[in-house]
Structure 1
Amino acid sequence: MNNLERRSTFALSSIFALRMLGLFMIIPVFSVTGQTYQHATPALIGLAVGVYGLSQAILQIPFSLWADRYHRKTLIVIGLLLFAVGGAVAAMSDSIYGVIVGRAIAGAGAVSAVVMALLSDVTREEQRSKAMAIMGMSIGLSFTIAFSLGPWLTSLVGISGLFWVTCILGILAIFTLLLVPKTTRHHRNFQQGYLSQLKQVLKMQDLNRLHFSIFSLHLLLTAMFVYLPSQLIEFAGIPLSKHGMVYLPLLVASLFVAFPSIILAEKYRQMRGIFIAAIAAVVVGLAILSFGEYSKYILLVGLAFFFIAFNVMEALLPSWLSKSAPIQSKATAMGVNASAQFLGAFVGGTVGGQLLMLNNTELGWGILTAVAIVWLLISFGLKQPRYLSSMVLTLPEHISTAEWTAKLLTFRGVEEVVVMSDQNVAYIKLDKREIVETERQELTHLIGRDLAI
């Protein structure tokens, strides 16, 4: 990765991490602390926790449709402001209804897909899986840190103080956008209405398989973390306050397997094979966990399989999605994917709660394993994604940028030109296999560099 990509990846990953840190810190404490609010009932406490995800699922698609037409950084700022305002509303509330409203407002800043789309703009195709891996790692680390930090912070500042912390984290995330260069995207313009654009994305079968994948992954993740803590306490003898110390080493260790897998998938164009193998690892991990009552080491091995697969999938899914989605509808496809992710988390939480009521650990893990097997079977229909190449070019001095990009897009195989005027560079994303020899020389002259096919 070049310096620009590293800086942008750090900034956009920080936005994800800061938002998720604020979100996750609430989860392990609110079922208890929420009882102190006026009019609180178990159902309303559950709604206060879940309404954030519901708002996210509903508004991801509208935000992503706008992101394919308007400046993505502007939409991210709006989303982060909503996140901060929602935190402030919840912090100032004495009633559970005020907390519900605040959480709904915070969730209305549904810009996860917009952040990922912007990351795909400022990274080359060959480096995207690495960037997505870093973003996935930031999410995993924020999850682990939040579950460890939330109870401690609540003991210091109370639940209202914790909501103020989420507000501050949202504001801090806005400032990290200053590290991301201003981008102007140029591609072949296909005029579509919002509904037509959404229909186009929903008709693509491979994209639908990827949406089902993110839905299944987060369903299983959420259900597992509802279902697993009681087993760590009962069978492994690990108190709740120490669970973060279990997750963090396993998460870090899994990266030593996940990163080479991601590099293999991208460099040797084995994305489909690695993807299928990761789902198989989820199946194996869940199957091992079904025997966790016999040994804490079995629990840890099952968790290790799951964490490895989770990190691989978190990196490959957005990268694959950006390769398969139509250029002009990239953010829209990511918005549908993000909605599927939050719906998966919502369903996973519900399923996990029902599994707890079974009082049969082997049956519970067996049900989750069956879900993973269905996911694996559906994913066999995926085709290898299209691989584009990227070139980093200095903007020309002898011709206007608009005229230069317009000429570039007349060549078959040139899919998109992302201009970062403040850096005086542009990324050209192209499929070299579609460029014929007669056009190669003309394109070489236009970009001022030899283009090898």
Structure 2
Amino acid sequence: MAASGLSGTEKKVAFSLASVFGLRMMGLFMIMPVFALYGQHLSGFSPLWIGIAIGAYGLTQALLQIPMGILSDKIGRKPVILGGLVLFAIGSLIAANADSIYGVVFGRAVQGMGAIAAAVLALAADLTRDEQRTKVMAIIGICIGFSFALALLVGPIVAQHLGLSGLFILTAALAVLGMVIVQALVPNPIYQAPRGDTVAAPARLRRMLADPQLFRLDAGIFILHLVLTAVFVALPLDLVDAGLVKEKHWMLYFPAFIGAFFLMVPLIIIGVKKKNTKATFQIALVIMMLALAGMALFSHSLTALSIAILLFFTGFNYLEASLPSLIAKFCPVGEKGSAMGVYSTSQFLGAFCGGMLGGGAYQLLGAQGVFELALGLMLLWLLLTLGMANPVMLKSYTLAAQVADKSQAQVMATRLSQLPGVAEAIVVLEEKVAYLKVDEYFDLRQARAVLGSPN
């Protein structure tokens, strides 16, 4: 086995599914830096409809994210993923052939109906061992971040040479490439990972919403993607007004996004060394607030806007990367699938609302109004974090349990809870698994002995 701990199959799973996820997200993101600039020929064009078109995918994604995940439990992961990619390609072609902004909005909404995130992550869980699952999910997460950076580079270049229609045709081609990867490279699962790790359970969703720590994180990802979408309604137009021609926007976005990856490293190091994730989280929020303030105050200075964009992406990258891991740390044991379902729905709903609010604010108040609105929302998020607990560094395990009835499951759960290093334990009879959250003193062999699992 490789030094990373991933088997050959797990590496294949990680990189093939990361590619599928990344290609789709790249197709969604490419429109963001260019639509306000290259969509002005469409009938019905206005700042409000710019925002709606950019964020329309978020509404259908939010509505269908959890149902599509549940459907993947019933008919299989691959059929749902392939069907979602077909819908994404159809939506792209609708948008490519639209001569009005309303047609683009409809196409973007159809793109969002291909809500495959839950099914992709569930398939990744099905095809990987529990102890390696975190690494596979991290690879997928990194690929999503890279796809956003690539979208900022490719989107303006493609729009410059092929126009908006060519951009949407490219997104359809990316969806087809994703289908080929799913069919040719992704193995077929021979079992399903435990439901609590992957797909949302409707009965548990209300509990996720009522949890104060999870609510702060769900509200946070909602605000983060609202702000991102709203900013990209106004920022491209502001850059043109500041003297940067639209054909050269990628020369600013892409280096800024990559530079921000390096600048966020000190935040990560500080958080780990000080064991104070909450403080570094709040620092990232303040960095984004400074960026938005700079955009609002110095909208006619290209130098100031460039610095603000670098700061914006630094804070954004850190928050986007840290929020899913915080969800995993705060969610009740065995309910990660439900917690992530609410989180993903909040994320996509934020993108939709960001388009609506950003477009409306730009139409009424101009770019400065958009940035000030975004700044106010980030301040609200900062205030919400004041009551946020500092997460304890715990690992999660999902272990097979040789359990026959409910009373035996209760006994196992009690014995597991008494083991050194176990912070939380639950045994689920129906799934025949035990979910554990543990610290560095945990001994895996002791837990497997209790559960009757092989070493």
Which interval holds the TM-score relative to the shorter structure?
0.7 to 0.9
SS in 1 for 2:387: coil
Q: What does 1:417-428 correspond to in 2, within 5 Å?
A: none
The equivalent position to 2:302 in structure 1, one of 266, 280, 296, is 296
Letter in 2 for 1:208: F
Q: CA 1:280–1:64 in 2, change beyond 3 Å: closer, same or farther?
A: farther
The answer to whether the Cα contact below 8 Å between 2:25 and 2:144 also exists between their aligned partners in 1 is: no
Equivalent in the alignment of 2:214: 207
Distance in 1 between the 2:349 and 2:315 partners? 20
The equivalent position to 1:135 in structure 2, one of 119, 130, 143, is 143
Q: CA 1:118–1:108 in 2, change beyond 3 Å: closer, same or farther?
A: same
Q: How far did residue 91 of structure 1 move?
A: 5.3
Check if 1:220 corresponds to 2:227. yes
Q: CA 1:173–1:77 in 2, change beyond 3 Å: closer, same or farther?
A: same
SS in 2 for 1:306: helix
The answer to whether the Cα contact below 8 Å between 2:229 and 2:358 also exists between their aligned partners in 1 is: yes
Q: How far did residue 312 of structure 1 move?
A: 0.8
Check if 1:115 corresponds to 2:157. no
SS in 1 for 2:244: coil
Q: CA 1:292–1:129 in 2, change beyond 3 Å: closer, same or farther?
A: farther
The answer to whether the Cα contact below 8 Å between 1:125 and 1:429 also exists between their aligned partners in 2 is: no
Letter in 1 for 2:148: G
The answer to whether the Cα contact below 8 Å between 2:45 and 2:100 also exists between their aligned partners in 1 is: no
Q: What does 1:46-445 correspond to in 2, within 5 Å?
A: 50-66=55-71, 71-88=76-93, 90=95, 102-116=107-121, 122=128, 124=132, 127=135, 130-131=138-139, 134-152=142-160, 154-155=162-163, 159=165, 161-177=166-182, 178-179=185-186, 182=189, 184-186=192-194, 195-235=202-242, 237-262=243-268, 265=271, 269-293=275-299, 295-357=301-363, 364-389=370-395, 403=402, 411-412=416-417, 413=422, 430-432=437-439, 439=446, 442=449
1:413-452 Cα shifts (integer Å, max 9, x gaps): 48699xxxxxxxx99964147969995693599553xxxx
Distance in 2 between the 1:140 and 1:193 partners? 26
Letter in 2 for 1:348: G
Matched-pair identity in %: 32
The answer to whether the Cα contact below 8 Å between 1:51 and 1:103 also exists between their aligned partners in 2 is: yes
Letter in 1 for 2:162: T
Distance in 2 between the 1:139 and 1:428 partners? 33
Q: How far did residue 361 of structure 1 move?
A: 5.8
The answer to whether the Cα contact below 8 Å between 1:125 and 1:388 also exists between their aligned partners in 2 is: no
Equivalent in the alignment of 2:430: none
- Structure 2 unmatched runs, 5+: 428-432
The answer to whether the Cα contact below 8 Å between 2:331 and 2:339 also exists between their aligned partners in 1 is: yes
Distance in 2 between the 1:265 and 1:70 partners? 42
Letter in 1 for 2:68: F
Q: CA 1:308–1:265 in 2, change beyond 3 Å: closer, same or farther?
A: same
SS in 1 for 2:390: coil
The answer to whether the Cα contact below 8 Å between 2:217 and 2:327 also exists between their aligned partners in 1 is: yes
The answer to whether the Cα contact below 8 Å between 1:18 and 1:170 also exists between their aligned partners in 2 is: yes
SS in 2 for 1:380: helix
Equivalent in the alignment of 1:422: none
Distance in 2 between the 1:180 and 1:308 partners? 36
1:247-282 Cα shifts (integer Å, max 9, x gaps): 111111111122453465468743323222211211
Distance in 1 between the 2:272 and 2:448 partners? 28
Check if 1:41 corresponds to 2:44. yes
Q: How far did residue 80 of structure 1 move?
A: 2.0
Distance in 1 between the 2:111 and 2:307 partners? 36
Letter in 1 for 2:237: S
The equivalent position to 2:26 in structure 1, one of 21, 29, 41, is 21
Distance in 2 between the 1:163 and 1:88 partners? 7
The answer to whether the Cα contact below 8 Å between 1:218 and 1:342 also exists between their aligned partners in 2 is: yes
SS in 2 for 1:185: coil
Q: How far did residue 96 of structure 1 move?
A: 7.4
Distance in 2 between the 1:441 and 1:343 partners? 41
Distance in 2 between the 1:134 and 1:10 partners? 11
Distance in 2 between the 1:266 and 1:68 partners? 36
The answer to whether the Cα contact below 8 Å between 1:64 and 1:334 also exists between their aligned partners in 2 is: no
The answer to whether the Cα contact below 8 Å between 1:30 and 1:45 also exists between their aligned partners in 2 is: no
The answer to whether the Cα contact below 8 Å between 2:426 and 2:436 also exists between their aligned partners in 1 is: yes
Q: Identify the range of structure 1 (358-367 vs 202-211) with the bigger mean alpha-carbon deviation.
A: 358-367
The answer to whether the Cα contact below 8 Å between 1:185 and 1:416 also exists between their aligned partners in 2 is: no
Q: CA 1:327–1:93 in 2, change beyond 3 Å: closer, same or farther?
A: farther
Q: CA 1:2–1:291 in 2, change beyond 3 Å: closer, same or farther?
A: farther
- Structure 1 unmatched runs, 5+: 394-400, 418-425, 449-453
1:350-398 Cα shifts (integer Å, max 9, x gaps): 33234434566655533322221111010222223354436899xxxxx
The answer to whether the Cα contact below 8 Å between 2:88 and 2:113 also exists between their aligned partners in 1 is: yes
Q: CA 1:124–1:430 in 2, change beyond 3 Å: closer, same or farther?
A: farther
Q: Identify the range of structure 1 (339-348 vs 84-93) with the bigger mean alpha-carbon deviation.
A: 84-93
Distance in 1 between the 2:324 and 2:136 partners? 9
The answer to whether the Cα contact below 8 Å between 2:17 and 2:140 also exists between their aligned partners in 1 is: no
RMSD over aligned Cα, in angstroms?
Answer: 4.3
Letter in 2 for 1:225: F
Q: Identify the range of structure 1 (82-91 vs 225-234) with the bigger mean alpha-carbon deviation.
A: 82-91
The answer to whether the Cα contact below 8 Å between 2:14 and 2:136 also exists between their aligned partners in 1 is: no
Q: How far did residue 110 of structure 1 move?
A: 1.2
Distance in 2 between the 1:336 and 1:124 partners? 24
